[in-house]
C-alpha cells in the first residue's frame, strides 16, 4: 500500500507501508476532522473498533468512508475478557476480511 | 418469537437470519458487517441458511470509530 516508490518504512506479513504510524479513529470532534487528520498524518493503517451496530440510527459505514484509502486494522476495544476478544477478532475477520487484529 | 438482538429483547415474526437482517435494513451485499448467534460467528456464506429460534441471542456488529 506504499504510496510512492521509496522503500517501505514498515513491512507486516509481507505487506509494505510507507508510514509506521497507526492512527486511531476515536476522539475527533466530527468525521471531517478525522478525515483531515488522517490525511495529514500520512498514516496508511487506521484502527477501528468492532461493536454492535446501532440499528435504530444507521450511520455512514466506516468501511465506505475509509476502506478504499486505508488498511483498516480492527481492535478489541471494549472487550473485558479473553473470550470477548477472541469473538470480536472473529467478527472483525468476517466484517473486514482481515486476519489482522490489534489487541 | 422473542429473541435478543444486540443485547435488547426483540420480537421477530420470521424464522431465519436472512429475514431478520432484511427487517433491520442490513445491506447483505456490502462488507463491513458481521453476525453472531449465541456467540457463534455466522459466516456470510451461511447467512441465507441460518435459522433462528426463540431465545437466540443475535449480535450484528460493524466497525466503529475507536481505538
Domain ranges in chain B?
Answer: 2-61
| A29: in domain | yes
Show residues of chain A in contact with B61, CB under 8 Å: 50-53, 88, 91, 95
| A15: in domain | no
The answer to whether residue B49 scores a pLDDT higher than 60 is yes
Per-residue model confidence as pLDDT tens for chain A (103 residues): 555 578 899 999 999 999 999 999 999 999 999 999 999 999 999 999 999 998 887 777 899 999 889 999 999 988 999 999 999 999 999 999 999 999 9
- Closest chain A residue to the Cα of B58, Cα to Cα: A52
pLDDT in tens, B1-40: 999 999 999 999 999 999 999 999 998 888 899 999 999 9
pTM reported for the whole predicted model: 0.90
- Closest chain B residue to the Cα of A92, Cα to Cα: B34
| A10: in domain | no
CATH number of B2-61: 3.10.20.30
A83 catalytic per annotation: no
3-state secondary structure (DSSP) of residue A41: helix
Whether the predicted interface score ipTM is above 0.85: yes
CB contact under 8 A, A25 and B65: yes
| A1: in domain | no
Range of the domain at A73: 24-54+61-96
CB contact under 8 A, A96 and B32: yes
Residue A1 is predicted with a pLDDT of: 53
- B59/A52 Cα distance (integer angstroms): 7
Q: Are A90 and A82 in contact (CB under 8 A)?
A: no
When divided into structural domains, chain A yields a total of 1
Residue A10 is predicted with a pLDDT of: 96
In sequence order, the 6+-apart residues with CB closer than 8 A to the CB of A86 are none
CB contact under 8 A, B66 and A58: no
Amino acid at each position: 500500500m506504499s504510496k510512492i516508490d521509496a522503500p517501505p518504512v514498515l513491512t507486516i506479513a509481507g505487506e509494505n507501508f510507507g508510514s509506521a504510524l497507526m492512527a486511531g479513529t476515536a476522539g475527533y470532534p466530527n468525521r471531517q476532522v478525522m478525515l483531515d487528520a488522517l490525511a495529514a498524518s500520512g498514516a496508511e493503517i487506521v484502527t477501528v473498533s468492532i461493536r454492535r451496530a446501532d440499528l435504530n440510527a444507521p450511520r455512514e459505514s466506516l468501511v465506505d468512508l475509509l476502506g478504499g484509502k486505508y488498511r483498516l486494522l480492527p481492535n478489541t476495544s471494549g472487550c473485558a475478557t479473553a473470550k470477548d476478544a477472541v469473538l470480536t477478532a472473529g467478527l472483525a475477520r468476517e466484517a473486514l476480511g482481515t486476519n489482522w487484529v490489534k489487541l | 418469537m422473542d429473541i435478543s438482538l444486540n443485547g435488547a429483547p426483540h420480537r421477530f415474526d420470521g424464522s431465519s437470519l436472512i429475514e431478520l437482517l432484511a427487517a433491520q435494513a442490513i445491506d447483505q451485499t456490502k462488507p463491513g458487517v458481521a453476525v453472531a448467534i449465541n456467540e457463534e460467528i455466522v459466516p456470510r456464506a451461511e447467512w441465507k441458511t441460518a435459522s433462528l429460534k426463540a431465545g437466540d441471542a443475535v449480535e450484528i456488529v460493524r466497525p466503529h470509530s475507536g481505538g
